[in-house]
Amino acid sequence: MLSAREIVSRVKSGELKVTEIVESTFDRVSKTEDRLNCYVTILQEEALKRARLLDESASKGKVHGRLFGVPVAVKDNICTKGVRTTCSSRILANFKPVYNATVIERLEREGAVIIGKTNMDEFAMGVSTETSYFGPTRNPWDLTRVPGGSSGGSAAAVAAGEATVALGSDTGGSIRCPASFCSIVGLKPTYGSVSRYGLIAYANSLEQIGPMARDVYDCALLFSVIAGHDPRDSTSVNLKPKDYTVFLREEVKGVKIGVPKEFFGEGTQKVVEETVWKAVHKLEDLGAEYDTCSLPSLEYALAAYYIIAMSEASSNLARYDGLRYGYSEEFTDTDWFTYIAKVRRNGFGPEVRRRIILGTFTLSSGYYNRYYLKALKVRTLIRMDFEKAFKRFDVLAAPTMPTPPFKLGEKIENPLELYMCDIDTVPANLAGLPSISIPCGFTTSGLPVGLQLIAPPFREDLLFRVAYTFEKNTGYVKEEPEVI
């Protein structure tokens, strides 16, 4: 499978045509998609049309764009003009936005070819892509297991070669979790570094769009394209765009790595702990220094996260009433409240309804101070703990997930057990920090394990450098799942 870097180089040299690349990608999709279910919407006709236009441009010597000819998959909660954007929910099953998200505009400006919209947990609520209205996605490494969530379709598509790179979104681990489970690279950027304009909201103060790729270079390349200020997004930080690929060098000498003990708590499987520590020692062998540390407030991170996320979800999803767009019911002799309740009961899946109800409760009179306000205070303590740690260390290292990928159906009936899977990823979202997951090994049965690296705000350059050094000195990036 060619990387994005290789595709752009070969197209520019005239060695390959964009149509050849796109046709090859769809050939892969035709061979594996019935087993994986990565896509909600496949854009074969549209992608081939764009490929022909790009080839015509290339024939005239006009090959401009850092992603010229690169097939990209897009998570189905990112708006695409005229192309249905469902959030993998019945309530938006036929919704077609009238505008593009900022990240889509930036992809197209750089010559990317959008292959399709990927499957996800409904409204990004889940860690397994099992809550999708369109059925679960399967893990390319083991078809009986989950690919992680909520960006499971994007991760599985990249791992299986159904796309070269992909966009996901990360509210509490939704890029890093499937990156870990599918043995690819996934970055949750600093909050405010990538425009959220056109991202269908789940929890505004937590979520970020981010890149997913098979290697660190492609991840840095895609991030370079989508990052940057956007005046249409009030949460966007006014920072100059960078080319993050220039930071990719094999050099970690003197880098100080902190390993917080809280990330290895109850529920972390021994194989994950051993594999992550092996990765830390590998970085030490390459010149980095490490020491253990403690972030005491992380004990409350998961509870604080779910209170904040569910509260914001309750507010954001109140707009889906069956009156203006999306799923609706036949209106009979009844009042508006009964009609809206019926639409929401039939339009939302059980996990989304659960989170709306819990979020409504935590925001209700008499409970706002007891739950939501207290969670915001805990969030501040968590941020302060990270700030203190970064006075000693350049980056922090931890497991991405406490377990390897689990079986389909294994946890879906136990919401609490599923929520516990987020324990290692939510702290970075609460603090707004950049965090990357990179492949760091496999279990004896061949299941992927991910290493999570966390850096201070807007230090994605440092994350990419450490991740790149690790990747270049290990062989995990060369491993491919058997489904290929």
Q: Which domain holds residue 62?
A: 4-257+393-478
β-strand partners of 14: none
At residue 77, the pLDDT reads 98
Q: Given a cut of 80, is residue 475 above it in pLDDT?
A: yes
Pairing of strands 256-260, 395-399: parallel
Q: Which amino acid is at 202?
A: Y
Q: What residue has token string 């090994």?
A: 441
Dump pLDDT digits (tens) for 212-261.
Answer: 999 999 999 999 999 999 999 999 999 888 999 999 999 999 999 999 99
β-strand partners of 135: none
Rounded Cα–Cα distance for residues 391 and 396 (Å): 11
> Does 304 reside within a domain?
no
Q: Given a cut of 80, is residue 483 above it in pLDDT?
A: no
Dump pLDDT digits (tens) for 62-101.
Answer: 888 999 999 999 999 999 999 999 999 999 999 999 999 9
What is the number of domains present in the chain? 1
> Does 369 reside within a domain?
no
Rounded Cα–Cα distance for residues 173 and 365 (Å): 30
> Does 41 reside within a domain?
yes
Q: Given a cut of 70, is residue 367 above it in pLDDT?
A: yes
Question: What's the CATH code of the domain at 434?
Answer: 3.90.1300.10
Question: What residues are labeled active site?
Answer: 75, 150, 174
**Strand runs labelled E in 7-164:** 39-42, 71-75, 113-118
> Does 445 reside within a domain?
yes
> Does 284 reside within a domain?
no
> What is residue 412's three-state secondary structure?
coil
Dump pLDDT digits (tens) for 121-160.
Answer: 999 999 999 999 999 999 999 999 999 999 999 999 999 9
> Does 135 reside within a domain?
yes
Dump pLDDT digits (tens) for 90-102.
Answer: 999 999 999 999 9
> Does 72 reside within a domain?
yes
What is the end-to-end Cα distance of the chain in Å, rounded?
Answer: 10
Rounded Cα–Cα distance for residues 346 and 159 (Å): 34
